[in-house]
Each structure stands twice: as structure tokens, then as C-alpha cells.
Structure 1
Amino acid sequence: MVAQKRTRPDDAIISGLIQDTDLTDEELTNISVLLLIAGHETTANMLSLGTFALLQNPEQLRLLREKPELMPGAVEELLRYLSIVGSLGLSRLAIGDITIGEVTIRAGQTVLISLPAANRDPALTENPNDLDVSRPRASHVAFGHGIHQCLGQQLARTEMKIGYHHLLRRFPDLALACEPHEVPLRSDMRIYGAHALPVKW
């Protein structure tokens, strides 16, 4: 595919990487595999976790079914509310001294960043611990920030919009088939999610 896109570029991400970088075929292949794997696991977990969150918030589920035009904003809200990447903390190394609030971080120190805590910062939105699919889009760092932003974020958003839309349309009576506390969560893994989501319809 890399060789093909070198001779016949299109508007896909691999062609963009070929045009904008000096990456070798091996590097481009490795990046493509990484995007495929990272994009699959994260999106699959986000779809199951988002479904789990909606089933636990029936008024939000009902609102989304009644007003499917809310779906783009609902996806952003679910991304903010759930924060599946970095649940164990992202580590960064300070390259210079910096003071945040009343804390000074020295060059060379390691900092652990909690994306879930950042996404529920009360300075970003009112009632940040509530799921509200009609909320005006609030800032979030579910896809990272700056140079660390996820390359596949637009694809992930599209997959979630389509996935949730068709799930809610095809299964109007979808419900949990167990108690919420019985859903086995991946709380000890790098990508947060559900090992299984038992449902009925």
C-alpha cells in the first residue's frame, strides 16, 4: 500500500505522510500498523464504554434517540466523560523548570498527567461529573494535546458517530443484561474499557 500511494497519492493519511515527511517505507508501514491497532482497540473500547454509560443514563439515551442530530456533540461529551486513554496516567519529562499554580516542576522531573481528571475540570464546564449529551461542546484532552494529539482522532469520531447511531436505531430496547457493578472493566490496563458488556434487547 505504501508503494502504491507513493506512485498514486490520494487524500488518505498515508499519502499525507509520504508528501509531508521523509519517512522510509518501513517507517510508514510501522506507522500504518500502529494506527490500525491503536485505532481498533481504542475505538472498540470507546464504543462499548459509551454504550455502557448511555445504558446507565437512560434519560440521556432517550434524548439521543429522540434527537439524533445531537450525535456529534454526544460523541464529544462521551469522549470527555470517559477518557479511556491514559486512565493510569501519562508520563512526561519536564524539559525546563515550570510553575503551575503553586507547584514548581524542575527540569528532568517526571510528571504524571491524569486525562480523566483534566476532562472533568470544573473550570471547563458546569457539572463535569454528569453525562449530558446536549451539553455545548466542552474542551477535552481525550485525544491528547499539542504534538501528542492522536493522528486518528477524526476517524475515531466518525466511527463512533456511525456506530452509536446504528446501534441505537437497530436496538431500540437495548438494555444491560446484568447489574452495572457486574460489568468487568479493564481498570488495570493502559486502555480503559470493558472486557465484556452483557446486553439484551
Structure 2
Amino acid sequence: MDTKTTTEKTGESAKTAEAGPAEDTAVVVLDKQADDAADDLTDDEDDEDDLLSDEVAPASSGIGGAAAAMVSAALGAVALTGTWTGKVVSERETLLGQIKTSGSGTPAQQISEIYGDAWHSTALVNGVFSLVALFVAVLVLILPGRPTWVRSVAVAGAVLGGLGLLLSAGTYFDLFLSLPTAGS
């Protein structure tokens, strides 16, 4: 191999030197080492691909598990903030209470029928959403072969569902706030 170096690019005077046999050998050895390193890298990547393919579950089960985990977290959040369905049920109970007590009910009965039933209905609907969130999250957690992030989202859904269930139960049974009482 005959290599020449020029220094014209740096602005110095043009000097050319021919590489001797020792330099040729060094270049060939370095080229061989670079080729071996490149081969090792591709072999390592192939080995990593083989390891990953053995550990990862099929894509179809991963997508379903991820979707279920996200649904459980969303349902848990919705159970804590309230739902449109809960609002509709609450308004229905308010209307029924107004119809039942229209003019003949005592103040205590009106409070119970108009406000208490609506309050309890909202808590019941939010509790159902919490139970569904908790159930879906536990289902995702007990199925094997889920990636770590899917399990983390499912744990978040379970925590939100459990918290929503506690709050709904406390609201339904008037543990946090009781209904107002009628003055004498």
C-alpha cells in the first residue's frame, strides 16, 4: 500500500512523504481491528435481539394489557372527579324527591328525598366506576408477561380505583359529611 500525505489544506508548503513498510503494516492491523470491532457490534446487537425476543410477550397481548391499564387509570380518575352519568342520576333523584314531597312533606323529608337521595346516587355511580377500575387494574396485574410500564399504570389505576371506592363509600354512608338537618 502506498500512502501519501499532503499538508496543502493547512496552508503549509506542500510536503509529501511516502509511507514506509512499517506504516503499511500498522494501517492494515488497524483496519483489521476496526473490522473486527464492527463485527463484534453487529454480533452483540443480534444477541440482544435474541434475548429481547425471548423475554417479550406477543404484541397482541401487550397492546390489550396496555389498553386495559390505561382504561383502569382513566376510570379511577373519573370515579374521583365524578361522571356525567352520576350527574344525570343525581338530577333524576332530585326531581323524584321534588315530586314526592311537593307540598305535603316535612322539611326533614324534603331534605332526605331531594338532596340525600341525589347525593347517595352520585356516590353509588362513582363507586361503580371505582369498582370497575379496580377490577380491570387487578386483572392486568395478575396476568403474566406485562411490561413494567403497563404494570405501573395498572397499579395507578388500582390505587385510584381503591381511593375512589373509599370516598364513594364514605359519601354514601354519610361518613364525611352528614345531610343538613331541618331547624325547629
Bucket of the pairwise TM-score, normalised by the shorter protein: under 0.3
The two structures have a TM-score, normalised by structure 2, of 0.24
Question: Which is richer in strand?
Answer: 1
The two structures have a TM-score, normalised by structure 1, of 0.23
Max Rg structure:
2
